[in-house]
Amino acid sequence: MTALPFDQPRFDWQAGDLYQEFCRFRQHVGFIFKGPLAKSDAKHKAGWIGMWIGQEGREVYKTFVFENDDEDNPEKILEKLESYVRPKKNKRMARFRLHQRTQKEAETFDNFVKDLKILAMDCDYADNDDVLIDLIISGVRHKKVQERLLEQGQDITLKRAIEIGQQFELSQAQVKFMRGEEVLKIDTRSHKKQPTKNNVSRNKSAKTDKPKSSKQNDNRNCSSCGLEHEYGKCPAEGTTCSYCKQRNHWKKVCRRRLKHVKVSTVQGDPDS
């Protein structure tokens, strides 16, 4: 039996929120029908859905009443599944849940907006977009995003509001990359160039009388970046310290910052 060339959808009937699970399942099915099974006819697609919904889903399928040949229509099957798992509408409760929704600390902006849209589906608002804009402004975690959204005035569209949130999140990710992950890559690269330079090799080198080249002697922790690198290849060269705003060194080795930390520690020590 050969493996199928795509990741098959699976409906989890044990999920805590069956409607959310159905939305995930239907999206996956949609991608499969547009991709690997795009050339399959409706009857074959209906058969695939029957396999993907599992034994419990097939028991539910038996309770469906179809008209004409709708039992071979994959869209009709999905509609009936959605109707089965979707909770009964209570627009007052749905609106309460929607207005309580705020962006969580580690949650992406896109996920926050996606959940707002799903919750708004049961609220029966005349204009969902207008309500969603208000809730994005009130519920987004970053104050700067709120400010930028409010600056747009009353003519802001939902599309523009989402773009502003996405752009801010992207810029934050780029800043973190430049300040943190980029440094990590430099450090990793430096160790890859000298994979044998560890504590054991240092002890070995100390015991041997073999002379070292001047280039080897230049490899030490740099006072400008705190990393170990070859002479003349300091990654802090040309950058600006985020603490003292002076150039060519980083905050973690900033002498002004370290001096301030030392003074603060001494003054705050009751035993000194």
DSSP string, 186-205: HHHHHHHHSTT-SHHHHHHH
pLDDT beyond 50 at 187: no
- Residue 220 β-bridge partners: 229
* pLDDT bucket at 220, cuts 50 / 70 / 90: low
Q: Which amino acid, 183?
A: V
- Say whether both 61 and 103 belong to one domain: no
Full domain range(s) for residue 100: 91-173
- Say whether both 160 and 119 belong to one domain: yes
* pLDDT bucket at 190, cuts 50 / 70 / 90: very low
Q: What percent of the chain has pLDDT over 70?
A: 79
Give the per-residue pLDDT at 49: 95
How far apart are alpha carbons 234 and 219 in whole angstroms? 11
- Say whether both 37 and 96 belong to one domain: no
Does residue 236 lie in a domain region?
Answer: yes
* pLDDT bucket at 52, cuts 50 / 70 / 90: very high
Contact 137, 148 (CB under 8 A): no
- Say whether both 56 and 75 belong to one domain: yes
pTM over 0.85: no
- Say whether both 105 and 133 belong to one domain: yes
CB atoms < 10 A from the CB of 204, how many? Answer: 11
Contact 125, 151 (CB under 8 A): no
CB atoms < 10 A from the CB of 198, how many? Answer: 11
Higher pLDDT, 189 or 136: 136
Give the per-residue pLDDT at 5: 75
Contact 26, 33 (CB under 8 A): no
Does residue 139 lie in a domain region?
Answer: yes
Does residue 214 lie in a domain region?
Answer: no
Does residue 208 lie in a domain region?
Answer: no
Radius of gyration of the chain (CA): 30
Give the per-residue pLDDT at 4: 65
Most trustworthy range by pLDDT among 68-77, 201-210, 231-240: 68-77
Question: The domain spanning residue 119 has which CATH number?
Answer: 1.10.1200
Residue 96 in tokens: 């309460």
Q: Number of structural domains, the chain?
A: 3
Q: What percent of the chain has pLDDT over 90?
A: 46
How far apart are alpha carbons 209 and 44 in whole angstroms? 77
> How many residues would you count in the chain?
272
- Say whether both 55 and 95 belong to one domain: no
* pLDDT bucket at 214, cuts 50 / 70 / 90: very low
Residue 91 in tokens: 């627009």
The candidate with the shortest Cα–Cα distance to 234, out of 190, 202, 179, 176, is 190
- Say whether both 240 and 169 belong to one domain: no
pLDDT beyond 70 at 196: no
Give the per-residue pLDDT at 185: 46
- Say whether both 257 and 241 belong to one domain: yes
- Count Cβ neighbours within 10 Å for each residue of 247-272 and write b for 16 or more, e otherwise: eebbeebbeeeeeeeeeeeeeeeeee
Does residue 116 lie in a domain region?
Answer: yes
Does residue 190 lie in a domain region?
Answer: no
Helix, strand, coil percentages for the chain (3-state, nearest 5): 60, 0, 40
Last residue of a domain, one of 152, 173, 194: 173
Contact 80, 50 (CB under 8 A): no
pLDDT beyond 80 at 268: no
- Say whether both 37 and 79 belong to one domain: yes
Return the DSSP state at 113: H
Contact 101, 122 (CB under 8 A): no
Last residue of a domain, one of 59, 85, 111: 85
Give the per-residue pLDDT at 80: 93
How far apart are alpha carbons 90 and 157 in whole angstroms? 27
Each residue's pLDDT tens digit, 146-160: 999 999 998 899 999
- Say whether both 99 and 167 belong to one domain: yes
pLDDT beyond 70 at 164: yes
Does residue 99 lie in a domain region?
Answer: yes
- Say whether both 96 and 145 belong to one domain: yes
- Say whether both 42 and 108 belong to one domain: no
How far apart are alpha carbons 53 and 13 in whole angstroms? 9
Last residue of a domain, one of 66, 85, 104: 85
Residue 119 in tokens: 């919750």
Phi, psi for residue 247 in degrees, rounded to 5: -95, 165
User: What average pLDDT score do residues 111-123 get?
Assistant: 91
Higher pLDDT, 173 or 48: 48
